Structure 1
Amino acid sequence: MNFHEWFVLTTSSPRRENYKELVKHYSAPMFYMAPWNWNEIAAAAMSIHLLPETRLAKLHDLYTKYGPVPRILLETFLTDSCDDINNAAVQRYDIALRIKITELLRDANAYIDNSFGTNDSHTILLMDLPLDDTYTTTCMEYENLAPTTFLRIATKYIGHLIGEAHGARASREAKILYDWSLGTTRTKGTAGWVFEMRIHSILQEGGSFSCSPLDSAAPGRPPSSPLRICLRKGDKTFTSAEGLGQLVRLKANARSVKPELCNIYLQPKKCNFTSRDSLAICRGPNNHITKIVFFQITVSQNHAVKAKGLDNVLEHLPADAKKEAPVIVFIVPASELTGFKRQKIDLGGSVINKHPAEKWHQYVLSFDDDKLWAAR
């Protein structure tokens, strides 16, 4: 006995109140044990209960979804054969995991300090040991971890949850900025940028949108009826007016529009187009009538449209898309809807004092905060 050292191994998760005590009074070294792989979990599971292949397959599904989490994989799942009980346990774990991810994104340092060693801890990140012949053991002293050791998100599913939580948090913070920016004239431009980004996201999802006419003051034209725009999910981007023309034509120099690009949201990428933020080429119910819809996104009640920018786009579009006069749809916050009137067509100092766009129908489409900030 005098020739042997004695070791005490703790096999449960350490707690803040005891692991520091061990280190302080006994100079106990800390080791990092690599997470269990699937072979180890399957072996442990089979040593507790001889599982049929169907339950072993379900166990593998949980491992793939949540990573090496012995608590959920081995406790409830192996001690109770009732599927309802197991499904309820997984659902509780999933809800708690989402909460933990939100806490982690809010304040990572506070999350680590408050969650270390607690009974309700959940696997979010894993530490990968370096693939090196030097490291042959499954446990490694914490202080001697190699510089090539790195953290990774445990599974693809957990990565998806982190992305969702990050998006929701970004939306909340963007709304705070948006509400504040709308308050003064000097900061309204910032609000316009945030509003435009949200509208792009909404229209990319597709749907049916009802637009109110602004044509009561249109010279030489009677008031128009409300306009319903139907967009399919998805979008296409372009970097120039020439690129837009090439994108939507059925083939080079063709008069026709590609059918698959009708009723699809089209927006410029990495460029700024004068007089419009995006557009769609909408085909009617009879599948023959094609109309160009120019979208102008604004948080102001006065937003002139430059004729030169409209001409630049129309010049490059196929002839079939221009059989009917285009329309302009102004997209505004619901707070700006009251009093929003038909907008001026800016001729830009041209010697020509008239432009066809002055007789185009104009519409307004508004979004309230509930629609604008709905999770996407």
Structure 2
Amino acid sequence: MKKSIFLVLFTFILLTGCSASTKDTSSSGGGEKSGKTTTIKIANFYADDHAVNKAIKEKFLPMVEENSNGKLKVDLFPNSTIGGEEFMYDGTRNGTIEMAVLSQIMEPDVPKVGLFSLPFLFKDYAHAKGVLDSPIGGDIKTEFEAKTGLKHLGYGINGFRVVSSNRLVKKMEDFKGLKLRMPNVPQMIATGQALGTTVSPMPIPEIFPALEQKVIDGQDNPYSTLRSNAWYEVQTHVLETRHLFLPNNYVASKKFWTSLSPEQQKVVEEAVQATVKREWELTEQGEEDDKKFLKENGLKITVPDEDFKSEMIQATEGVHKEFYKKYSWAEETVEQIKEQSK
């Protein structure tokens, strides 16, 4: 009898202990709530020493881990090591990747993002930043989240794009027959074609071998990307077109974002804001240094005169007109953007 009572009591104590243990360790949405550590995978296609990844290492990683008291950890995947931009976009949307830094891949899904791929729209960095910080930038974020289901956390800086090539381009006629790699974004492709080039869309990791094997003659990207990917090793010239300014987009998957507590969400948001601020600083301050480095490594940089610049602007006006035909709000918004440059 005593043995039976003892066994019942022992079993009750054991089950109660297991139940308490389960309550302590189960996740009810986020590391802070559960006592567990949550790992954030943040992916991008930029080279390891690009301003984007420098800023993430300097700001995002330490701020998230310190300000979450170690409950949030960060794993950085630069240089498309986790997959290309399309893979990252799909991965964040389906929740297999927590965060990513994306460029224009979502443009077909988010019409207002297409404003950024209109040629010769932004005057300089101050103009671009002013627009991103204005209600226009806010409207784009709102549409972005509604159309993609992703949380838009901030605008970084991809910079003004220039054209590198294996031959001199100093007038409109020189674009003819130039096999130019551009991202697989419709308006960017249309811009290249309007200038007279033969556009070959391809992912960033394929650019170096394509240039080396002369499958393409050139590519368009900001100076920082040209330097960090070592394309100067297989190019001879740069035309400083500054034909497009693109931001980049810090995004989080909905599955990941809603799993965080409000306190953890604040930690991540503040870390992103510090990161994009540092990214802008590094990019703006580093542009002249990048140009100097490229010149020292053999690239000849051509700055187009006003006549040549005007010809390029005129040649690409059709890209704007086609955009206006698609969206009733487009022309008015573009005029508001232009007004902010004055």
Task: Tell me the TM-score range normalised by the shorter chain.
Answer: under 0.3
With the length of structure 1 as denominator, give the TM-score of the two structures.
0.23
- The structure richer in helix per residue is 2
With the length of structure 2 as denominator, give the TM-score of the two structures.
0.24
